[in-house]
Every structure is written in structure tokens, then in C-alpha cells.
């Protein structure tokens, strides 16, 4: 039997309903924030990710899916979303718009060849936002507010925001020199990867998953101790705006993020969910004022974040939060000689906005009522030859078992009224007032 590739998964059933619900929430939330949707190719020139993500990151050195196309061009399945969005921003001259900043969001599959584990796959879905053209700390705070808002909508309660600052280019270079001085006497204690990182980008050492418990790691210099006055001011303003939006946060000097392009603000949002384990970071991001220039020739500031759908689904599962209902508004029970009319009625109700199904397996009456119960149908419509002849339908409330005789022309108004009566709006997500 052919099976799915290692590190991938199928979506169906309740998980499918939950994902669709979350995707709809994402679309509505981004509309509320006035962000525009951007979609980029699933594969791009390999050079794009080497420039953007960084030559020293594990993503580029170990995890990308690289291939040569038939024109012998080096291509890579996208391992993250930011690089492609920036390439699109430059190529489509979005920087020339009259209204700035340009605020965008994306959602789609990404690919990394890494060891699969709980909540981590080789094909995974990522939602993210990118804001171009503003150096204001207000933009940083707004970007941080989006995942916080999202998790609140979805019902996650134990969410924590943790922030840090890497400072501007000058501050980051000063910090780099401090790291070199700190790690050089202990280079022999570090793993092979960290020895290479020491030569190319010592900041990457702090993100090591092997050496993180070493004493030399715990005593490493902190980024915020090497910020110049301009960088300190920016970080203070970010905190001021977060407080203005009533977003609680903690300063965590250990956050450096796993990509080379960040400057100034970096942040992570964690979920203190029982059973979630140490890998409890739901999303992360920050400011990248030099990245657009590194990829193209435009010196445009940027800030953004990304979150993985799989990690979010795991958190929701541990919190016993589920979305999406398979319940029907109406189940139509056809008789042997009324199947054509039954299918016409099903289509009529669907075109009027109801969630409807019927029997396609030639079940008897008793089995049809069991099917309606399994589908959690609110109402059952019986359509026998007498109902077809008279135009008066037999409608049963599947919860109260009350039975009604309704003229077909009045069925829509009847269902509209009764479905509202049966709805407990404080418990559901409908639009009823």
C-alpha cells in the first residue's frame, strides 16, 4: 500500500472542521486589521532563501528541499514565508504605493527536511504577516497584538508574550564582539555546529538546541546590555504601545530567534498548556529593517511574525478546544417514488442558505431517522407521495420530536424562525442577535 511521505499528514473529520474554522477566523481578523492577502509560489530561486534566511541558519544548511529544474536552475521549496513576500513586494513595486505602510498577510504550506516530532512536520502550514515601510514602534506593537488577539478569539487562556531587542546594526555588531570574547575561551566545549557558527555568526550559538544547558550559554552576554540610545528608545516605545493596548508581556533577553535577518524587536508568544512540553512557543517574529535591502535594492523597513498551524492545533487539543460543527439544519427523507423531488428540495434548501443532506444509500425509514440523528439534524422533512401531491410537507423537530404540516412555499420562513428559536446565541458562533 502506498503511504503518505514521512513528516506529512492527512486532514479529515473533526480536524478538518477545526482547520477550516481557524482559517475563516484568520481571514476575518486580517480584514479587521486592514491587511491585504498575498500569495507567493511554493518554490523560489534557492538564492532568495540564502540571502534572506541566512547562510548560517540550520534551515538553509540542513533543512531545505533543493532541486534543479529542467533548465538547470537551482530551486527550493519555500521553508518560510517572509522571503517570498519580500520578493513579491520588490518585484511588484508595492513600495511605490501612495499609502504606506504596506500591510500584508499570507497562509500556506512550507517545507523543511527535519526530524518529524509532535507538532513538527516536513510539510507544515504557516500563517504570517509582514508590514513594510514603517520604522515606528507602533507597527511592532500592532504586529505583536495580532497573534494575541487570535489566541483570545480561539479561547487559549494561558498565553504569554515575551519580547527582546537585538538593537540596530551598530548595537548588534557591538553585541557580536561581546559574544566572540565570551565564547572564544570555551570554544572546545561547544558542539561542531556551534564551532562553525562562532566563525560565521556567533549569535546563532545562542539558538543551539544541543548546548543550551551549558554554563557558558547561561552566562552569555545579554543583547539589551549592548543597545545604543536609539535602540533603547525604540524598545521602550514598543513596551509603551503594548501597555496602551493592555497586552501583558515579559522581557526575555534570551530570545534571539532562529533567523539571521532580525533587528530591534524580537518576540515569541508561548502557551502554558498542561502537557504541551518545553516546545511551547506558538509563534515568533520581529523587526527586520535590513532584509528588504539584502534581497533587493530598496531600503525599506519591515516587521512581521509567523505561526505554525500544527503547533496551534496541538495547543487547542491539549486545551480541549474544538471548532466546526457537522450538524445539519435539515435532513430530507425520500421515499422510493419521490427521490427526484427529494433531491430538488435538497437543492432548493441549499440555495436558500441551509445546511442540508439526504439519503443516497436507499435506507429504510428507521435507518433514515438514525442517519438524521448521527448527522445532528435539527429538522427532518418527510417527502412521500402524499407530500408531493398536496405540496404540504411533514416536518419534524429532531430535538423536541414535534411534528408540523408546512406548505412548501412557507418552508423557508418556518425554518428561519425555528432555527433561531432553537439557537442559544451565548453558546454558539452564529450571527443571530
Which of 430, 279, 408 has its CA nearest to residue 345?
408
Can you tell me the distance from the alpha carbon of 326 to that of 14, in angstroms, rounded to the nearest whole number? 8
Residue at which a domain ends, from 290, 318, 346: 318
What nine digits make up the cell of 110? 512550507
> What span, in angstroms and rounded, lies between the C-alpha atoms of 321 and 309?
14
Is residue 422 over pLDDT 90?
no
Grid cell for residue 287:
523587526
Is the residue at 221 inside a domain? no
Q: Given pLDDT bands bounded at 50, 70 and 90, which one contains residue 21?
A: very high
Domain that holds residue 41: 13-168+228-318
Is 323 within the bounds of a domain?
no
Asked which of 283, 318, 353 is the last residue of a domain, the reply is: 318
Q: Grade residue 176 by pLDDT with cuts at 50, 70 and 90.
A: confident
User: Average pLDDT in the 206-223 region?
Assistant: 84
Query: Rounded to whole angstroms, what are the CA distances from 353 to 65, 102, 348?
Result: 44, 36, 9
Same domain, 46 and 69: yes
The answer to whether position 157 is within a domain reads yes
Residue 204 in any domain: the answer is no
Residues 312 and 240 in one domain: yes
Q: Give tens-digit pLDDT for 364-417.
A: 999 999 999 999 999 999 999 999 999 999 999 999 999 999 999 999 999 999
One domain for residues 312 and 394: no
How far from chain centre, in Å, is Cα 349?
34
Q: What is the CATH number of the domain that holds 145?
A: 3.30.930.10
Provide the pLDDT for residue 420.
82
Pick from 183-192, 223-232, 419-428: least confident:
419-428
pLDDT number for residue 427: 42
pLDDT at position 163 over 70 = yes
When comparing pLDDT for 326 and 288, which is higher? 288
Q: What is the side-by-side strand order in the sheet with 392-397?
A: 356-358, 330-334, 379-383, 392-397, 403-407
Cα–Cα distance measured from residue 188 to residue 170, given in angstroms and rounded to the nearest whole number: 29
Q: What mean pLDDT comes out for the span 121-129?
A: 97
Same structural domain, 256 and 394: no
Question: Contact, 78 vs 60, CB < 8 A?
Answer: no
Integer Cα distance of 137 and 37 in angstroms? 23
Quick one: pLDDT at residue 243? Answer: 98
* Bridging pattern class, strands 379-383 and 356-358: unpaired
Do 286 and 380 belong to one domain? no
Non-local CB neighbours of 264 within 8 Å, separated by 6+ positions: 140, 165, 166, 167, 168, 231, 234, 235, 286, 287, 289
The Cα–Cα gap between 65 and 79 comes to: 8
The answer to whether residue 43 is domain-embedded is yes
For residue 106, the model assigns a pLDDT of: 98
pLDDT value, residue 431: 46
- Single residue among 269, 293, 318 that ends a domain in this structure: 318
- 82 and 142 housed in the same domain: yes
State whether residue 132 is helix, strand or coil.
Answer: strand
Domain count, the chain: 2
More reliable by pLDDT, 190 or 346: 346
Could you tell me if 143 and 234 lie in one domain? yes
pLDDT 10s digits, 276-322: 766 688 999 999 998 999 898 889 999 999 999 999 999 999 888 88
pLDDT of residue 277: 65
Amino acid at each position: 500500500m502506498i503511504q503518505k511521505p514521512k513528516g506529512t499528514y492527512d486532514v479529515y473529520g473533526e480536524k478538518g472542521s477545526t482547520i477550516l474554522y481557524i482559517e475563516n477566523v484568520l481571514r476575518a481578523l486580517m480584514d479587521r486589521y486592514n491587511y491585504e492577502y498575498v500569495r507567493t509560489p511554493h518554490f523560489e530561486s534557492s538564492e532568495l532563501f540564502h540571502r534572506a534566511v541566512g547562510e548560517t541558519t540550520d534551515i538553509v544548511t540542513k533543512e531545505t528541499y533543493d532541486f534543479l529544474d529542467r533548465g538547470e536552475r537551482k530551486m527550493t521549496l519555500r521553508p518560510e514565508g517572509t522571503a517570498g513576500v519580500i520578493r513579491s513586494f520588490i518585484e511588484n513595486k508595492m513600495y511605490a504605493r501612495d499609502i504606506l505602510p504596506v500591510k500584508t498577510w499570507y497562509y500556506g504550506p512550507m517545507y523543511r527536511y527535519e526530524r518529524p516530532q509532535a507538532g513538527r512536520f516536513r510539510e507544515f502550514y504557516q500563517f504570517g504577516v509582514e508590514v513594510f515601510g514603517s520604522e515606528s514602534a507602533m507597527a511592532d506593537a500592532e504586529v505583536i497584538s495580532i497573534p494575541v488577539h487570535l489566541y483570545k478569539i480561539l479561547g487559549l487562556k494561558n498565553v504569554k508574550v515575551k519580547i527582546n531587542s537585538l538593537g540596530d546594526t551598530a548595537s548588534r555588531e557591538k553585541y557580536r564582539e561581546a559574544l566572540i570574547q565570551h565564547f572564544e575561551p570555551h570554544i572546545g566545549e561547544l558542539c561542531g555546529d556551534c564551532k562553525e557558527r562562532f566563525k560565521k555568526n556567533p549569535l546563532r550559538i545562542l539558538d543551539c538546541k544541543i548546548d543550551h544547558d551549558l554554563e557558558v550559554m547561561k552566562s552569555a552576554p545579554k543583547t539589551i546590555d549592548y543597545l545604543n540610545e536609539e535602540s533603547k528608545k525604540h524598545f521602550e516605545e514598543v513596551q509603551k504601545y503594548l501597555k496602551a493596548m493592555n497586552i501583558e508581556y515579559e522581557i526575555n533577553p534570551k530570545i534571539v530567534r532562529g533567523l539571521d535577518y532580525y533587528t530591534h524587536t524580537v518576540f515569541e508568544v508561548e502557551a502554558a498548556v498542561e502537557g504541551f512540553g518545553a516546545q511551547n512557543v506558538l509563534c515568533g517574529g520581529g523587526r527586520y529593517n535590513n532584509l528588504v535591502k539584502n534581497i533587493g535594492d530598496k531600503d525599506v523597513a519591515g516587521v512581521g511574525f509567523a505561526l505554525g498551524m500544527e503547533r496551534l492545533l496541538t495547543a487547542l487539543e491539549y486545551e480541549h478546544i474544538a471548532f466546526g460543527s457537522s450538524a445539519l439544519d435539515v435532513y430530507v427523507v425520500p421515499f422510493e417514488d419521490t427521490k427526484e423531488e427529494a433531491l430538488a428540495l435538497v437543492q432548493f434548501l441549499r440555495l436558500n442558505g441551509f445546511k442540508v443532506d439526504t439519503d443516497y444509500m436507499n435506507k429504510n425509514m428507521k435507518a433514515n431517522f438514525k442517519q438524521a440523528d448521527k448527522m445532528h439534524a435539527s429538522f427532518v422533512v418527510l417527502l412521500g407521495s402524499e407530500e408531493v401531491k398536496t405540496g404540504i410537507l411533514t416536518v419534524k423537530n429532531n430535538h423536541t420530536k414535534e411534528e408540523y404540516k408546512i406548505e412548501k412555499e412557507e418552508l423557508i420562513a418556518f425554518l428561519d424562525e425555528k432555527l433561531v428559536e432553537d439557537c442559544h446565541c451565548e453558546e454558539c458562533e452564529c450571527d443571530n442577535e
